[in-house]
Amino acid sequence: MNRIIISLLGGAAVLAMHINTQAQTLINGAGSTFDYPALTKWFEAYGKTDSDVRFNYASIGSGGGQKQLLNQTVDFGASDAPMKDEALASAPGKILHLPIVAGGVAIIYNLPGNPKLKMDGDIIANIFMGNITEWNDPKIAALNPGVNLPSLPIIPVHRSEGSGTTFIFSDYLSNVNPAWADTVGKATAVKWPAGIGIGAKGSEGVAGQIRQIPGAVGYAELAYANQNKMAYADVKNSAGNFIAPSPDSVSAALATATIPKDFRFSMVNPPGDQAYPISGASWVLVYEHQKDADRGQKLVAFLKWAITDGQKISSTLDYAPLPDSVQQRELELINTIKY
């Protein structure tokens, strides 16, 4: 008899657990690898606020996030590049842009001893256009006196898929280097010069390739550089100062940004003595009209938390928190979402 009771109680416990799991609202998202570290921590932290919601996020790149949102296969997309007018016009409903993080794109590299280097837009552009091919090139040496630069081939590593990090990187280079603007341009997926460098999927893939290949250089969100303990360059800003990416230097860049009503903006190469020049925002993309009332309500509650309480942990994750004025403007926009 005891065995039967225990078995029944055990079955009841399993059933209760199953019912509780089934009762959770699942919200699906996809897109940016740039803000994946922040989203992961936010989902975990938000679970203490609302245990009835669960998030499933696919870090597939900004291009993939936009595409899945347009196809309505996810509840939200995430992108480090604002959607273009033609894409918004083709959407089955109005899409809102909600900035959730701002961060710096670090120039990461793998050299013997990993010395701290200084770079400028001209050097970075010419490396990725294949015009500077050795680490001891005179142009690199001129910015780094006293640094023992090796006679080692430079191997550029770039993203292989549609990427918002590529958009910020190419937006910056288009802003500071006319040759880059004329030949490569800015986009989530640019046409890299033939035979130059190797492609990798996601910021994780770029960081992984660079760690394995001596002489490699690439770009990734600062969180990935710090998580992988990788060297990254100080980059010359518009004021002529060499600045490292950090929450403070990205905040200095964000403070100068002109943010329009629809929140689609660029913040590369900003003015300011302490502003990091390769800085950008990342957006959550959502439909103004949510098809599912329960998921829409849960998503709105999370977004309100992310742009207010969530910002309190942004700097610990290597992101710049959104200013209070931006938070208040976003809350007004979120309140227009219907479900």
Shared-domain flag, residues 82 and 110 = no
Shared-domain flag, residues 98 and 120 = no
Residue 60: predicted pLDDT: 95
Number of structural domains the chain divides into: 2
> Could you read off the pLDDT of 231-254 as tens digits, one per residue?
999 999 999 999 999 999 999 999
Shared-domain flag, residues 110 and 210 = yes
Domain of residue 319 covers: 2-103+280-334
**What are the start-end ranges of the E strands in the chain?**
25-31, 53-59, 76-79, 95-109, 118-119, 155-159, 198-200, 216-221, 231-232, 234-236, 242-243, 279-287
Ordered alpha helix ranges (H), 55-213 = 62-70, 85-90, 121-128, 138-143, 164-176, 178-183, 202-212
Using the predicted structure, report yes or no on whether residue 131 has a pLDDT greater than 50.
yes
Shared-domain flag, residues 243 and 285 = no
User: Pairing between strand 76-79 and 279-287?
Assistant: antiparallel
Shared-domain flag, residues 112 and 231 = yes
> Could you read off the pLDDT of 298-328 as tens digits, one per residue?
999 999 999 999 999 999 999 999 999 999 9
Contacts of 98 (CB under 8 A, 6+ apart): 263, 283, 284, 285, 286, 303, 307, 330, 333, 334
Domain of 314: which CATH number?
3.40.190.10
> Could you read off the pLDDT of 182-225 as tens digits, one per residue?
999 999 999 999 888 999 999 999 999 999 999 999 999 999 99
